[in-house]
Structure 1
Amino acid sequence: MKIITTLLMLFISIISFAQTSLYGNITDEYGQPIPGVSVQLKGTDQRTISDFDGFFAITTNKEYPYTLEISSVGFEPVTEVVNSGTIEVNITLKEISFLDELVVAASRAPERIFESPVSIERYGINDVKAAPSADFYAGLENIKGVDVNTNSLTFQSINTRGFATFTNTRFVQLIDGMDNVSPSLNFALGNLIGVNELDVQNIELLPGASSALYGANAFNGILFMNTKNPFDHQGISTYFKTGITSQEAAGDNEFYDVGLRMAKAFGDKFAAKVNFAYLRGTDWYASNRDNVLNPGESRAEDPAYDGLNVYGDEVRTALPGIGFVSRTGYDEADLTDYEAESIKFDGSLHYRPFGDDFEIIYAAKVGKGQTMFQDSNRFSLKNFLLQQHKLEVRNDNFFIRSYITAEDAGDAYDTRFAGININRRWKSDQQWFGEYAFAFQQAFSQTGSEELAHSAARDFADTGRFEPGTAEFQNAFNSVTSDPDFETGARFISKTQFTHHDANYNFSHLLGDFADIQIGGSFREYNLISDGTIYTDFDGSIDYSEFGIYSQIQKKLIDDRLKLTGSVRYDKSELFDGNYSPRFSVGYTLGRNRNRNIRASIQTGFRNPTTQDLFIGLDIGEGAVVGSAEANLDRYTRVVNGTQISGRAAYENSYTANSVRAFLQTGGTDTSVLEIANPDIVKPEKVTAIELGYRADFGKLLLDVSGYYNMYQDFIATVDVASPLSGDVGTTEAENSLRAGNFAGFQTITNSTADINSYGAVFGISARVFGNYELNTSYTFAEQDFDQSQDPGFRTSFNTPRHKFKAMFGNENLLRNFGFNTAVRWSTDYIWESAFAVGEVPSFTVFDAQINYRIPALKAKIKLGGTNLTGEEYFTALGTGNIGSQYYIGLYFNNL
């Protein structure tokens, strides 16, 4: 193909008197071809890119001499002057230091990583291709300082600097400037409905508070995924991956993953692209049967057994003379098929009416998926649909962007309520417990053994129970999971959406060397629509809005060695008072060769309570979660033991759940242990973050060290409370109500009054060793400073190991067209806290590896690899399935 192209170019040069043609090859310092390099004729819009062999060809009407501008991410740009008679040019590009690569996220303007005012990580095209993981998103866990909690095969949750849950509302994920958050769940579902691997241009990650430029909820970090522009990256590329997942509970199961990208520029003014990706496999089975309430005791030993991944046994009661007894539950595997699926489609139209520096973009993204999701309960997301539509106008100095994000929960359901209500479809709680009590008394009178009596009572009460695999069970399951009333069903409905408008203008081109000044703002409006299954929107959608404005000034001094940056943002939600978020940073470049840099910053962040924090009204089996917006307190009601009670009781007439539990353990005799709760309604959470950092480029060795200290104010917390069904707290009537078991359990959303701080450090080294082998290592330390005695019932959900170590070692040019990469991650044990479960996550070590072989003649690459190759199963959060091994082979075509 290359020979044919060359001959064709020579032929054209002979017969065309008005045109000149040029071709050439582009390689790196090791003689390896570099695909995807931009070759542009200076002063014109004529441009091409190198192919899989590093080969390029360009034809022009321009007279000699003319200049070619050659550039590629990760390499120093070069220019090549072409004189008369030259028809072939061979170009060698020199790889630049990682610290010299450009990033945009830290200051909303291009700058070298080396000079970034705050910590920032960059993950480029080459990193995506070399990742020793089955997909690029999972490979992000190899970035220093990053935690990835695996909820399921298709849903990983990214976080930095602690306080992570799967409902990670402290971390923001943007795709081409659009917030990828689920409007109702309030967090991104990993890459379930995100970006096609073939379309990734680069990824930038800002750990820590970023509210000064990005507003609410850019609190613990923000991830930017930027895709390829069809003007710059044209052609058709595709991949096909297949393999197996291997887990003790699930066995070996096949998966496959296919992707396609097509992009075309129709002249200099119009371009378009489309992407499609489809993944299907089997999720990690969650089969933990540990007793939540009485650890170590089995169902046979504990009549009130409540298994972690067993549902339906949350329903329990105290039987007179017998004690607490729970109904028999169903394993999670009985209540979901564990099919994992992700379908992603997106397309965009690009128009440049005035040349390269002005562009109008319409983009649409549609994603549909199936996965397991864990919050206060475990949810099976089936046919979950998210779509986004964006219109953007931009050039090098400004952008104006508007988009809408809308979701449809599809056939999603709560597995806990599926178990509870399948039981109830067969037999009511009243009948079941009545039969249990009768059979217990009969058996005990005959045997005198409580253990035998409990066993006989359960067998008697369970007679005729719907067994998994039977038609009766399947009929009940289908009925329950299609019923949106949690009194009788398990399905949840959400068609929630939000619209967002964003604008920014950078005045630096008007101010010369004076300073870089930019201003911007945003506006967002929520429309909460769940038909009362998640929110208290029984009578129509709940709507509210928020806006923000910001400005930043950046100035270089002292021979451009000193860089000062100041930012401030004002945000206002219609439900809360306004909030200011300032940031100030200073950076100084040291050394004769300007190869060392120190930085310091103090910045603030805040996050508004989420839509669920404000307007949720959701039964979770043993109680209900009630949002604390003032308008929500009376909107939510439930009936407990024949008495109707509202959400207001949770906030204005309640004891702490722990104290009620202690009171009942005394037989209701010691009222001194009772503690009145009455939590305040929630308000925005704030953080002040101080960071110091040092970067150095010693040639073949790069060093990046940072440390931070975070101080939180009004930390948003969940507090479990119990409200008596009669009487005001502190009265004898209320105490008698508790003794009789007449109380309602609630999970409230409020703010902790305790002092909560966190601190940590990240140490990273990147080096080229043994010639052209790449070695990257990092160590992360993270710790919280929290005195539990200040707020005994509060869970911070820090959920982060104190120590983490990561290392990657590889060589993409080990032999001609052959490369490899490996990764190892080690974590200490840590305590996982969430509304679903609390417990220890043991220490784990994970080893991943891949080898790849390039086939230039076919513009193809074969990639063979595996994750968790030791086979030692582990988990990153309590209640999820153990993560086994994944083995894969992938074939990529024209992935430049």
Structure 2
Amino acid sequence: MNKKSIFINCCLSLALIAGLSAQTGSITGSVTNENGSPLVEANVLVDGTDMGASANANGEYTISGVGAGSYTVTASFIGYASSSRSVTVGDGAATANFALAVSFLPGDEVVISASRRVEKIVDAPVTIAVINEAKIRRSTGFNVGALMKEVKGADIYQAGIQGIGVNARGFMSAYSYRFMMMGDGMNAMLPGAGLSSGGLWPVAKEDIERLEVIMGPSSALYGPNAHNGMMNVISKHPRDYPGGSVVLGAGQNGILTQRVRYAGIAGALAYKVNFEHIAGTDWTTNKEYWGDLNGNSTLDAGETIVVGHEEDSKIEDQRLNVGIYYAINNDMEISAGFGQGKQTGWGTTNLGANVLEGWTVNNTWVQVSHPNVFARFYNTTNKAGTSHSVPNRSMLELGGMTRGDAIEATKYVDDSGLIGAEAQGNIKLGFTHLIAGFDYMKFDPISGRTYLDDKGKDPVTGVEAGEAIVLAQTGFYGQAQADLPASLSLTAALRFDNHDNYGKNTSPRVGLVWKGLGFGNIRVTWNRAFQAPAILQQMLYLPYGVVGPYGLILRGGGRGFTYTDGSTIDPLKVETNETLEFGFKGTPVKGMYLDVNYFQSNYKDFISPLQMISDPLGLGLAGTPGTPLIITHIGDVALDPEYIMTYKNFGEVKMSGFDLGVKYALNNNIGVFLNYSKADYSDLKNKKEDEATAAKYASLHINAPETKWAAGVDMKDLGLQGLAISVSTRHVDEFDFISGNHRATAEGKGISITGNPYFMDEGPLGGYTLIDLGISYDVSEKILVNLTVDNVTDTEARQMVGSPATRRLAVAEIRYAF
């Protein structure tokens, strides 16, 4: 019997043992929301014991084997405030019914992503935030990332109406890959490039139950690339959210939205169907792009073309997902589902922009779940449609080709796929929770040599070249959470990963939580996480125009490079991040929730954004004006002279930061919040100013604000039952952003380092204060009207390089539930 079979059999045996208990007395009851709808799988625990149960499809529960005596019973459900009841158990059954209210103060909420099990957010050993179903339902956002604007510590980069980049703790680039995205715990990064799928992930907004966002390293449980943080998009179970809804909306920029959801229950079978469609026109940039047609390095007449116009700025999102769930018994369920996301829109890259036209992501999954055992198999695939590079298309158009032919000649191929399998078991022994599991992912990136160094027709030579790329990684993890004397709780986790290209890596985490204050918890957590270079960083191959007589090629850094003098750039290595965090979460004052944390992070072998590493003409583009730099080999393959941009490792960078989040309920109808974040990037600044290290770190950039804050007020039922109003203000300090050929700096404003007007430095990003307004009104139990106005004052806010400045956007929707 192999190790995998032994592991699964052990977990099943433990689950069977855990289900046996003595029949002395019991506690029964129901758990519903304030409207009386059952909260399926709500947790009901007997305080001070290891006894508990989950609510069934009708919201009913039974805790058996309870000895005679008086107890306190607590019910909890994610997104709702916990509630407790006192009961006395005799020879028969005692009853405790619960009607849970939606929580304004997050300290009452429970989460699952922090430790891969349900726990109160105040007990979680990490910095975590939740955006619950009520907040999502009363918004009109296009992209799940847009809902994170008020999350403490999150850096939000809005690239137009549709595109949202999310990061935490610095070092962003034009691509979003440092912050891991997951969908119901599945890897939701694009299987070809390894970048965040964003709005391409196939879950309709109407089907999102909540977002759980972890700031800081999470590799101990979630593996490579969860080293800066992660966002888990959790969908609705049809038993928890039965019934249907239809949403219609319209707004500025010709925006039209339609959403439909229906979930039903037929005995042991439950199912759901969701569809969403959004269309409109993004803000335009209307920039001139220069193509040096005659190779004389001078901008001549007839060598520019306008891009980012209205035709480039069409946006369309379409998302469909279905699921079937069959309850084998009260504890075990088998389920399966399919989802498809399709997107058209503008996407910034390090060397310009892409127009996504019908880019499609499909996701299929099947899983078995039990309170003690979980297993899942899933498959994610890509199709690029007619998505293409704007600079490459522009060069062909300038050369006389029609736009349609230019798109056809420069369109990407992406037939990439990901196969994933995972299993997890858990058991509680006394006051210790034990979790163990494994996951396996096999990546088949297929670009037909249109953007990866894989097998296909070479865009430069026109002949077949390259080899197929297949990458696999396997991870095993374990975690123990134990209640210790002196009101202490210890969490220890360890993950072991084996990567085809980067071998064996370990990710430990240790967290200690002290619960002795009575009004909150103090924690200290240490993590070591790692990022294996993304497929794009390892294997990128994309011809991207010319510099004089030489081609400009974007190449992955996975094989390393050799110069004419014999000096080398090493192949990319794994980046590591060690972080120490101190935090407090609790309610020091009645009605107030305080979440504050301080962190210190140490990055080693930091993976850069794209860097110019060769300069055959000695133009200074690689930092050596007047001195030609020529690459002769990539790995052991000889190259002709060319301009090359690639990814490379840096030595060591330290940073620290402080995040503060306060929520205060003035009464049952009004709540206010304040988030404040301050980061210290002085270590990198000092390295760039020190003569001994300046050259080494000159091309590494923070690309994040040092200070940001958000504040707001949420009001409901003021003067009119069912009316809710939220007003929020978000401020981001001015900051430089450099990624590839894009520059947004104070020093270089008005200058294009390439001479191309498209890459003109327009000054730093940030430096804005934006006000957002949300109004929702429950016309009846079935009809809800939402109005969202982002950027009420119509402030021109530059939030991402190569993208249009954001302006006011008003969208109204009406929702009918049945």
Shorter-chain TM-score category? Answer: 0.7 to 0.9
Q: Which residue of 2 aligns with 1:74?
A: 80
Map of 1:743-762 to 2, 5 A cutoff?
Answer: 743-753=641-651, 755-762=652-659
Change (3 A) 1:423 1:135: closer
Aligned to 2:273: 274
- Whether 1:547 and 2:474 are equivalent positions in the alignment is yes
Q: Give the direction of change, closer, same or farther, for the CA distance of 1:239–1:317 in structure 2 (3 Å limit).
A: same
Kept in 1, the 8 Å contact 2:555–2:644? The answer is yes
SS at match of 1:367: strand
Q: 1:457 corresponds to which residue?
A: none
Equivalence for 1:532: 449
TM score, norm. by length of structure 1 = 0.73
Choose which of 395, 404, 408 in structure 2 pairs with 1:482.
Answer: 408
- Paired with 2:42 and 2:534, the residues of 1 have a C-alpha distance of 47
Give 1:188's aligned residue: 196
Shift of 1:710: 0.8
| Other-structure match for 1:257 | 257
Match of residue 311 from structure 1: 289
Distance 1:795 1:114 in 2: 40
Query: C-alpha displacement at 1:808, in angstroms?
Result: 2.0
Measured in 2, the distance between the counterparts of 1:257 and 1:359 equals 34
TM-score by length of 2: 0.80
Distance 1:687 1:807 in 2: 31
Deviation at 1:791, TM superposition (A): 5.0
* CA deviation string 1:346-397 (max 9, x = no partner): 1111111122x21111111111110111112200000101001111111112
CA displacement at 1:564 relative to structure 2 = 0.8
Conserved 8 A contact 2:281-2:310: no
Indicate the residue corresponding to 2:755 in structure 1: none
Distance apart, 1:132 and its partner CA? 7.6
Once the two structures are TM-superposed, the CA of residue 612 in structure 1 deviates from its matched residue by: 1.2
SS state of the match for residue 205, structure 1? strand
Q: Are the equivalent residues in 1 in contact too, given 2:143–2:199 (CA < 8 A)?
A: no
Q: Distance in 1 between matches of 2:694 and 2:373?
A: 47
Cα distance in 1 for partners of 2:615, 2:144 equals 48
Pick closer, same or farther for the CA change 1:39–1:104 going to 2, 3 Å: closer
2:306 alignment counterpart: 331
Change (3 A) 1:366 1:805: same
Match of residue 9 from structure 2: none
Q: Distance in 1 between matches of 2:233 and 2:324?
A: 19
* Inter-partner Cα distance in structure 2 for 1:802 and 1:653: 37
Q: Would you say 1:795 and 2:795 are equivalent positions?
A: no
Taking the aligned partners of 1:725 and 1:614, their CA distance within structure 2 comes to 26
Shift of 1:136: 5.6
SS of residue in 2 equivalent to 1:384: strand
Q: 1:735 to 1:769 in 2, by over 3 A?
A: closer
The structure having more radius of gyration, on CA atoms, is 1
Residue of structure 1 in register with 2:337 after alignment? 363
Contact 1:311 1:417 in 2 (8 A): no
Code of the residue aligned with 1:541 in structure 2: it is: A
Deviation at 1:176, TM superposition (A): 1.1
Relative to 1, partners in 2 of residues 1:736 and 1:681: Cα closer, same or farther, differing over 3 Å? closer
**SS of equivalent to 2:794:** coil
CA–CA distance in structure 1, aligned partners of residues 81 and 779 of structure 2: 23
The CA deviation at 1:100 is: 2.5
| Consecutive unaligned residues in structure 1, runs of 5 or more | 1-23, 51-67, 82-88, 245-252, 288-308, 427-475, 484-489, 634-650, 656-675
Tell me if the contact between 2:305 and 2:394 (Cα under 8 Å) persists in the aligned partners. Answer: yes
Alpha carbons 1:822, 1:849 under 8 Å: kept: yes
In structure 2, the partner of 1:498 is: 418
Q: Are 1:721 and 1:746, in contact at CA under 8 Å, matched by a contact in 2?
A: yes
Partner of 1:111: 119
Q: Check whether the contact 1:131–1:821 (CA below 8 A) recurs between aligned residues.
A: no
For 1:705, which of 576, 585, 596 is the aligned residue? Answer: 596
Residue of structure 2 in register with 1:870 after alignment? 793
1:160–1:221 CA contact under 8 A, matched in 2: yes
Supply the distance in 2 between the matched residues of 1:724 and 1:879 (Cα, whole angstroms): 27
Residue 805 (structure 1) shift = 1.0
Inter-CA distance 416–116: structure 2 relative to 1 (3 Å threshold): same
Does 1:419 find its partner at 2:425?
no
Relative distance call for 1:365 and 1:794 in structure 2 (3 A) is farther
Kindly indicate whether residue 694 of structure 2 is the aligned counterpart of residue 777 of structure 1. no
Q: Partners of 2:411 and 2:43 in 1: how far apart?
A: 59
Q: Distance in 1 between matches of 2:348 and 2:721?
A: 46
Q: Deviations over 1:681-705 (max 9, x none)?
A: 1111111011110122122111111
Query: Cα distance, 1:41 vs. partner?
Result: 14
Counterparts of 1:441-520 in structure 2 under 5 Å?
476-483=402-409, 490-508=410-428, 511-513=429-431, 515-520=432-437
Task: Mark the CA change 1:311 to 1:49 in structure 2 (over 3 Å): closer, same or farther.
Answer: farther
3-state SS of paired residue (1:230): coil
CA displacement at 1:46 relative to structure 2: 6.9
| C-alpha contact (below 8 Å) 1:133/1:850 kept by paired residues | no
Partner of 1:861: 784
Which residue matches 1:721? 613
Paired residues of 1:693 and 1:707 also in contact (CA < 8 A): yes
Deviations 1:65-110 (A, max 9, x none): xxx99876413346799xxxxxxx9986566642121111111111
Q: Which moved more, 1:577-586 or 1:531-540?
A: 531-540
Is the Cα–Cα contact under 8 Å of residues 39 and 70 in structure 1 kept in the other structure?
no
In the superposition, relative to structure 1, how do residues 40 and 424 fare at CA in structure 2: closer, same or farther (>3 Å)? closer
Question: What is the distance in 1 between the residues matched to 2:195 and 2:43?
Answer: 44
**Larger mean Cα displacement after TM superposition, 181-190 or 138-147:** 181-190
What is aligned with 1:621? 545
Match for residue 225 of structure 1 among 215, 229, 233: 233
Q: CA separation in 2, counterparts of 1:736 and 1:625?
A: 16
Q: Are the counterparts in 2 of residues 725 and 743 from structure 1 also a CA contact under 8 Å?
A: no
Do the aligned partners of 1:173 and 1:180 also contact (CA within 8 Å) in 2? yes
**For 2:398, what is the secondary structure of its paired residue?**
helix
Q: Is the 8 A contact 1:76 1:95 kept in 2?
A: no
Q: 2:108 corresponds to which letter in structure 1?
A: D
Change in Cα spacing, 1:836 to 1:316, as seen in structure 2 (3 Å) is farther
Contact 1:199–1:228 (CA under 8 A) maintained in structure 2: yes
Residue identity opposite 1:278 in structure 2? H
Deviation of the 1:134 alpha carbon: 6.3
Tell me how far 1:799 sits from its aligned partner.
1.6
* Higher helix fraction (1 or 2): 1
Partner residue of 2:184?
176
- Structure 2 vs 1, CA of residues 416 and 36 (structure 1 numbering), >3 Å: closer, same or farther? farther
Distance in 2, Cα, partners of 1:545 & 1:391 = 20
| Alignment deviations for residues 402-454 of structure 1 (CA, whole Å, 9 cap, x no partner) | 1111000000010101111112236xxxxxxxxxxxxxxxxxxxxxxxxxxxx
Whether the aligned pair in 2 keeps the contact of 1:335 and 1:415 (CA below 8 Å) is no
**Conservation of the 8 A alpha-carbon contact between 2:630 and 2:642:** no
The answer to whether the 8 A contact 1:211-1:218 is kept is yes
Contact 2:145–2:166 (CA under 8 A) maintained in structure 1? no
Within the candidate set 566, 569, 575, 1:685 is matched to: 575
CA separation of 1:823/1:388 partners in 2, compared to 1, >3 Å: closer, same or farther? same
Alignment of 1:48-67 (within 5 A): 48=58
Query: Is 1:852 paired with 2:756?
Result: no
User: How many Å separate the matches in 2 of 1:529 and 1:134?
Assistant: 29
Contact 1:39 1:48 in 2 (8 A): no
1:883 to 801, 806, 813: 806
Q: Could you tell me the percent identity over the aligned residues?
A: 22
Structure 2 residue 750 is matched with structure 1 residue 831 = no
CA distance in 1 between partners of 2:54 and 2:443 (Å): 45
Deviation of the 1:129 alpha carbon: 2.9
More displaced stretch, 568-577 vs 531-540 = 531-540
2: CA distance, partners of 1:552 / 1:844: 43
Contact 1:401 1:502 in 2 (8 A): yes
CA distance in 2, matches of 1:328, 1:334: 17
SS at match of 1:500: strand
The RMSD of aligned alpha carbons is: 3.2
> Alpha carbons of 1:557 and 1:414: their partners in 2 closer, same or farther (altered >3 Å)?
same
1:525 partner SS = strand
- For residues 209-232 of structure 1, the C-alpha deviation after alignment (integer angstroms, 9 at most, x for no partner) is 111111000011110111111122
Task: Confirm whether residue 381 of structure 1 aligns to residue 381 of structure 2.
Answer: no
The whole-number CA distance in structure 2 between the counterparts of 1:737 and 1:178 is 43
